[in-house]
Structure 1
Amino acid sequence: MTEPRAAKWRQLAAELRTAISNGTYPPGSTLPQVKTYAAEHGVHHETARNAYKELEKEGLIRATQRRGSIVLEPPVRRRITRGVTVARDPERGYVFPAAARPDEPWEVHGKPFRKELPAPAEVTGAFELPSETPVLRRRRVTSPAGEPPFQIVDTWLSPEAVADAPEVAEPSPGPGGYIDRLEEAGHGPITWEERLRPRMPDREEAKLLGIALSIPVLESVIVGSSARTGKPIEVTIRVIPGDRVELVGELQRGKSAKWPVAPVRPSAQAD
């Protein structure tokens, strides 16, 4: 028996994938309009549209209203060893596991943003504030030097934090950043808890990261608590495209898994 023939839209997607990989459609170029491409291949426009959607899911193209379907740079997948150690760089200050190696240069894309905005429930809940209370948010889009945007970093600072350390609301809080200012104001040493979850991006996140809405993202939420009050004073939410990162961790043997394995004794059999 022969295998069933692949659906036409899958065939078209494979042809487009090849055309992108061999440079027929280089990064930054646009694919033909869906209806044009469908007419050229003698198929219904929905068939061609399904092929385009498949490439968008794979992160190869991004659909825009003005330019059409833009071919993207191949994603650089970074392997992040998921540890629990917060390192420190003499120039940058604290470096968290989800961000970078202490010696790796990173750059900011666009202009960092700071403003009081209605905070999401995750933030107001941590700060014990009424729903959608305006909270100071510091946003920056960053990546390793020379790479496309890798992550959106939103840091929400509690009203108490801003009152105790007004510098955290400035464009540049100074050496060591906002965390050093908070610790100097009496909240150090800050302790952190991190939560990770996959989800779908919103339109603003997809635009800032240059990805399709169909590409899942990895969200890291780090809550920093004051040593003085024991309560959260900062919440940092990182959003990373799912096709650009994989988490790596070393598995360790527990006491019950020691080698050599203890021999299994045969069970007693009833007469």
Structure 2
Amino acid sequence: MARYEEVAADLRERIKGGEYEVGGTLPRYEDLTATYGVGRGVVSAALAVLEREGLIRPIKRRGIVVLNWSVTRRRIARGQLVTRDPRNGYVFPAASRPDEKWVPHGRPHREYAPAPERVAELLGVEPGIATLRRRRIMSPAGEPPFQLVDTWLSAEAVRDAPKIADASTGPGGYLDRLEEAGHGPISWKEYIRTRMPSREESQLLEISQEMPVLETVILGTSEKTGGVIEVTVRVIPGDRVELVSELRRDESASWPTTPVSPAP
């Protein structure tokens, strides 16, 4: 075993043994080099291994932060059914359970931000143009950030339903305001892919930048105009979730099977 692997193995054992608490920091580089009797290059290589494993993440002005490595992987049943809660409005397929409380990390906020290339393409605007974004970071109570959700709203949406730019959009949320403004019933389409996180996403989700994420994108299309008026991007760390789909038999696959007549 290379020396940097030995250092990584020892630090890994200490982290998982609770010597270094989640949310706390590892000793400084200078202390680690002295403890293990190695050079800075060996320590850097060892820490890179732990960062790839999602155990630590260097944070500017804080140090080498220990991440929550024991998070529970959640199964998401990816159905196609959109339901409605009388108080909160539409509910899309997600990882939450009916009796589970979810909490925000930081304050949900909205601002005009440059539209990323993918969002701009879906909204039909120029990349980088200032677009209303509503952002929230959520997780089950007591767990690290589970998902980063950005909802991007077109200029047309804000013009027709200016309430969606307020801090509180009222009962039913921004979708109710859009439908009340004449865009209902809104229809949706979902795209799912895996990718690597941006630096900002890794910081907000408290993960290594080398940890893949699951991205789901929901497009809301106006019944009035036929155009996309909102794009919601949900980003979830790849080690926190797995997708589950129930497979159904087509009539052609019914049981018992129909005997095949021999060829003449």
Q: TM-score, normalised by structure 2?
A: 0.89
Partner residue of 1:195 out of 184, 188, 191: 191
Rounded Cα–Cα distance in structure 1 between residues aligned with 2:124 and 2:25 = 48
1:98 paired residue number = 94
Q: Select which of 5, 26, 29 maps to 2:24.
A: 29
Q: 2:2: which partner in 1?
A: 7
1:140 partnered with 2:145: no
- For 2:258 and 2:36, locate their aligned partners in 1 and report how far apart those are by CA, in whole Å: 65
Distance 1:42 1:261 in 2: 70
The aligned runs of 1:70-109 (5 Å cut-off) are 70-73=65-68, 74-98=70-94, 100-109=96-105
Which of 210, 215, 221 is residue 219 of structure 1 equivalent to?
215
* Correspondences of 1:1-271 after superposition (within 5 Å): 6-73=1-68, 74-98=70-94, 100-255=96-251, 257-259=253-255
Q: CA-to-partner distance for each residue in 1:72-114, whole Å, 9 max, x for gaps?
A: 2232322111111112222221121135345533222212221
Equivalent position amino acid for 1:79 in 2: R
Shift of 1:233: 0.6
Residue 247 of structure 1 aligns to a residue whose secondary structure is strand
How far has the Cα of 1:37 moved from its partner?
2.3
Task: Say which is worse superposed, 233-242 or 132-141, in terms of deviation.
Answer: 132-141
Structure 2: distance between partners of 1:261 and 1:46: 64
User: Which amino acid counterpart does residue 202 of structure 1 have in structure 2?
Assistant: S
Contact 2:75/2:95, CA 8 A, preserved across alignment: no
Aligned 8 A contact 1:89 1:102 in 2? no
Residue type at the aligned position of 1:109 = H
Following superposition, the deviation at residue 29 of structure 1 comes to 2.7
**Would the alpha carbon gap of residues 261 and 65 (structure 1) be closer, same or farther in structure 2, given more than 3 Å must change?**
same
Would the alpha carbon gap of residues 83 and 156 (structure 1) be closer, same or farther in structure 2, given more than 3 Å must change? same
Supply the distance in 2 between the matched residues of 1:29 and 1:173 (Cα, whole angstroms): 37
Q: CA deviation at 1:62?
A: 1.4
Deviation at 1:171, TM superposition (A): 0.5
Please give the TM-score of this superposition, normalised by the length of structure 1: 0.86
Gaps of 5+ in 1: 1-5
Q: Secondary structure at the match of 2:131?
A: strand
Bigger radius of gyration: 1
Identity over aligned pairs, percent:
57
| TM superposition shift of 1:256 | 5.3
SS in 2 for 1:110: coil
Q: How many residues align?
A: 263
- In structure 2, how many angstroms separate the alpha carbons of the residues matched to 1:111 and 1:155? 15
Is contact 2:198–2:209 with CA below 8 Å preserved after alignment?
yes
- Which deviates further from its counterpart, 40-49 or 164-173? 40-49
> What amino acid is the match of 2:160?
D
The AA in structure 2 aligned to 1:27 is V
Provide the alpha-carbon RMSD of the alignment. Answer: 2.5
* Aligned counterparts of 2:263 and 2:21: Cα–Cα separation in 1: 66
> What amino acid does structure 1 have at the position aligned with 2:110?
R
Gaps of 5+ in 2: none
